[in-house]
């Protein structure tokens, strides 16, 4: 049932064990079997603590154990934060509340306004990441390495701390630090938990930060510790995850032993070989063997495209072809680094009615409020029912009194709004009459327009752009991002004859049985028969803020993220790289592709002689002479 390496881990008896588990090596099954072995060896269920990082993983572990166990009791299953929350509630403060993300963003925005001219949501999020990294580092501000100006970071941290203290609020970082402080100050409480938990298991150990690790070290003085993870899959640096903790495990714990799960039961040989070639370029990692258990070769295809939009047609054609051989839509996954990367290919899926399942349940461009608003406006133009009017009436430049609502509420919501008002014209004020007359006139004119002109009318004539500007200011949204999403929606919907046709297609494509769309982070722990990595290019290492506030990308972190993406594939991995993304030329295809193929020149373009490049022509100088070439020929795109 279990291979040699899995059995070694399950029956290990050392006090401190680190199990390094490669992708697809069956680590969850090993953890559950380890629990069963511990119980059969004499450990009482309530003396065992299993910690993981997500509520979903925690519930999954508990369910799997309960199915196998005949006991009426079970081990303690907690996420780190749930465990710390309970410890604080039981020993320090039972009245505190967890601060909301909205409160954090508003507070940091007010601080950053003192240093930055324009504070966008992206800048706030990036700044929050550095504060989280600092809190998780267990270092002083002087010791902490950051590209942010120390005086700004220090000011933000101190004021944020005072704000939380005054309002009796905790964030998740506070839970960790409070438990660490409690254990340092109250040895009696620490001893209580040491006596309570005789065996501690930690899943996804590669996501552990410095504070969590300090607490684990304190808790496990008397108990046995069994940690499971893969430093090559540590992709949460922005939350403080530190892969070097796994690397130095045996240096920290005297007599500790590392075990390795050698076999990948998920992917076929070519995918394993490609992924191994990539990740071996990282330095901060445990050296390990990555071997496949399957005999089939599988496929890895790396393909270059002229434009990002070309990827969509290729993927849909490929999916439709593979469906003929029995592959289901839910067996495919389209993965990307950022949500924005998916927009260039979504329209092809919508146009051809290919069902989609968004892995990030809280992200769907067609569920963004301002996109839904524009759709509702378009519906009202086509069909001015009372129901459609209620969706848009407070978002236009015209003002309507409460009396208008009182009248229309007496009628069926599918009734024509203008017909109802005409029948009750004598019951409304002069201001309402003027507003309704102007609205009716515009709607009548808009019906003669194509969809693209209607959207311009909604934004500019009906005044929705003014309404949206106020919302952007109030919620501190990124205006450039909002405009980008609207422009993307505009490009998608104009491919349809009517808003009804578009809406029907959108309803059809949203399905849990569709092609999986998601960021690489959202796909962690999953597997799919066929994986497409889109927009594979070198990420900018530096995101510039005004006034020299910078966030830098980490190359090894980016390589780990890429590695997680490609190791989701079972049978087929296709990595797609366009030279033009959002209309801009990109001459840096992902270096990780070259590493996987062991071809350092893959996709490299010498731009020294290029004077100008467009999607159609390349203008360059060779030996002082001007020369014009077809772009596809020059970039060797077939």
- CATH number of the domain that residue 64 is part of: 3.40.50.300
Residues 154, 26 share a domain = no
pLDDT given at position 362: 65
Residue 168 backbone class (left: φ over 0; alpha: ψ -120 to 50; beta: rest): left
Residue 122 has pLDDT above 70, yes or no: no
pLDDT tens readout for residues 326-340: 999 999 999 999 888
CATH of the domain at 464: 1.10.486
Residues 450, 342 share a domain = no
In a domain, 332, yes or no: yes
Residue 607 has pLDDT above 90, yes or no: no
Residues 572, 538 share a domain = yes
Residues 537, 491 share a domain = no
Q: What share of the chain is helix, strand, coil (3-state, %, to 5)?
A: 50, 15, 30
Residues 202, 65 share a domain = yes
Instruction: Choose among 514, 184, 499: nearest CA to 334.
Output: 514
Per residue, what are the HEC states of 397-442?
A: CCCCCHHHHHHHCCCCCCCEHHHHHHHCHHHCCHHHHHHHHHHHHH
In a domain, 286, yes or no: no
pLDDT tens readout for residues 165-187: 888 888 888 899 999 999 999 99
Residue 272 has pLDDT above 70, yes or no: yes
Instruction: Choose among 135, 68, 77: nearest CA to 104.
Output: 135
pLDDT tens readout for residues 141-152: 888 888 777 888
Instruction: Choose among 225, 307, 192: nearest CA to 580.
Output: 307
Residues 109, 188 share a domain = no
Of 506, 536, 557, the one marking the end of a domain is: 506
In a domain, 268, yes or no: no
Read off the pLDDT of each residue in 472-483 and give the average, rounded to a whole number: 78
Residues 36, 154 share a domain = no
547 pLDDT tier (thresholds 50, 70, 90): very low
pLDDT given at position 324: 93
Percent of the chain at pLDDT exceeding 90: 56
Read off the pLDDT of each residue in 467-477 and give the average, rounded to a whole number: 83
Domain encompassing residue 565: 299-362+509-606
Residues 590, 453 share a domain = no
Tokens, residue 131: 């504060």
In a domain, 8, yes or no: yes
Which pairs with CB-CB distance under 8 Å and at least 24 residues apart come from 430-435? Answer: 431/399, 431/401, 432/400, 432/401, 432/403, 432/404, 435/398, 435/399, 435/400
Rounded Cα gap, residues 199 and 201, in angstroms = 7
In a domain, 291, yes or no: no
Residues 12, 135 share a domain = no
Residues 446, 390 share a domain = yes
pLDDT tens readout for residues 380-426: 999 999 999 999 888 887 788 889 989 999 999 999 999 999 999 99
Of 261, 279, 308, the one marking the end of a domain is: 261
Of 506, 529, 556, the one marking the end of a domain is: 506
In a domain, 249, yes or no: yes
Residue 201 near residue 35, CB atoms below 8 Å: yes
SS3 for 296? coil
In a domain, 210, yes or no: yes
Read off the pLDDT of each residue in 317-324 and give the average, rounded to a whole number: 95
The number of folded domains in the chain is: 4
pLDDT tens readout for residues 306-318: 999 999 999 999 9
pLDDT given at position 548: 40
In a domain, 611, yes or no: no
Residues 561, 494 share a domain = no
Residues 494, 391 share a domain = yes
Rounded Cα gap, residues 339 and 20, in angstroms = 30
pTM, entire model: 0.83
Q: Residue 189 is inside which H or E element, if any? A: helix 187-196
């Amino acid at each position: 049932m279990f291979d040699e390496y899995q059995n070694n881990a399950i029956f290990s008896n050392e006090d401190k064990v680190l199990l390094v588990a490669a992708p697809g090596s069956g680590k969850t099954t090993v953890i559950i079997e380890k629990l069963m072995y511990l119980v059969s060896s004499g450990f009482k269920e309530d003396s065992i603590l299993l910690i993981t990082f997500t509520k979903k993983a925690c519930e999954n572990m508990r369910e799997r154990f309960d199915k196998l166990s005949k006991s009426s009791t079970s081990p303690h299953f907690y996420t780190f934060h749930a465990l710390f929350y309970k410890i604080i509630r039981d020993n320090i403060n039972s009245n505190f509340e967890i601060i909301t993300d909205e409160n954090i963003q508003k507070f940091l925005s007010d601080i950053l306004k003192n240093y930055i001219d324009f504070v966008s949501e992206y800048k706030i999020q990036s700044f929050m990441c550095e504060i989280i990294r600092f809190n998780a580092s267990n270092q002083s501000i002087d010791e902490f390495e950051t590209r942010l100006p120390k005086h700004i970071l220090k000011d933000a941290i101190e004021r944020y701390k005072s704000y939380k203290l005054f309002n009796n609020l905790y964030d998740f970082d506070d839970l960790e630090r409070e438990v660490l402080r409690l254990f340092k100050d109250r040895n009696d409480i620490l001893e209580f938990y040491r006596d309570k938990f005789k065996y501690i298991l930690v899943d996804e150990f590669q996501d552990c930060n410095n504070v969590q690790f300090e607490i684990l070290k304190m808790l496990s003085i008397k108990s046995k510790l069994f940690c499971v993870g893969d430093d090559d899959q540590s992709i949460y640096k922005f939350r403080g995850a530190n892969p070097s903790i796994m690397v130095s495990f045996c240096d920290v714990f005297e007599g500790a032993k590392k075990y390795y799960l050698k076999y990948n039961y998920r992917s076929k040989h070519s995918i394993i070989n490609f992924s191994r070639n990539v990740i071996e370029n990282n330095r901060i990692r445990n050296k390990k063997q990555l071997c496949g258990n399957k005999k089939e070769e599988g496929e890895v295809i790396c393909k270059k495209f002229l434009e990002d939009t070309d990827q969509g047609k290729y993927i849909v054609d490929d999916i439709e072809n593979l469906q003929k051989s029995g592959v289901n839509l839910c067996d495919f996954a389209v993965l990307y680094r950022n949500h924005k990367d998916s927009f260039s290919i979504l329209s092809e899926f919508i146009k051809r009615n290919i069902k989609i399942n968004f892995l990030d349940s809280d992200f769907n461009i067609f569920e963004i409020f301002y996109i839904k608003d524009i759709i509702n406006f378009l519906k009202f133009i086509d069909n001015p029912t009372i129901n459609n009017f209620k969706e848009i009436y407070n978002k236009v430049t015209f003002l309507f009194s409460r009396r208008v609502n009182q009248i229309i509420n007496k009628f069926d919501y599918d009734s024509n709004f203008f017909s109802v008002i005409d029948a009750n014209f004598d019951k409304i004020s002069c201001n309402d009459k003027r507003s309704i007359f102007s609205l009716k006139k515009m709607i009548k004119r808009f019906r003669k327009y194509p969809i693209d002109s209607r959207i311009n009318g909604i934004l500019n004539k009906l005044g929705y752009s003014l309404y949206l500007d106020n919302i952007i200011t109030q919620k501190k949204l990124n205006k450039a991002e909002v405009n980008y999403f609207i422009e993307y929606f505009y490009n998608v919907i104009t491919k349809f004859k009517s808003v009804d046709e578009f809406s029907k297609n959108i309803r059809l494509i949203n399905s849990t049985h569709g092609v999986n769309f998601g960021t690489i982070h959202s796909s962690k722990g999953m597997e799919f028969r066929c994986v497409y990595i889109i927009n594979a290019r070198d990420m900018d290492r530096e995101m510039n803020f005004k006034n020299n506030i910078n966030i830098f990308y980490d190359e090894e972190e980016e390589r780990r993220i890429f590695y997680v993406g490609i190791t989701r594939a079972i049978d087929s991995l296709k990595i797609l790289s366009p030279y033009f993304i959002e209309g801009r030329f990109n001459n840096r295809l992902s270096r990780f592709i070259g590493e996987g193929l062991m071809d350092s020149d893959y996709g490299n373009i010498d731009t020294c002689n290029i004077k100008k490049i467009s999607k159609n022509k390349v203008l360059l100088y060779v030996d002082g002479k001007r020369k014009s070439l077809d772009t596809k020929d020059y970039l060797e795109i077939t």
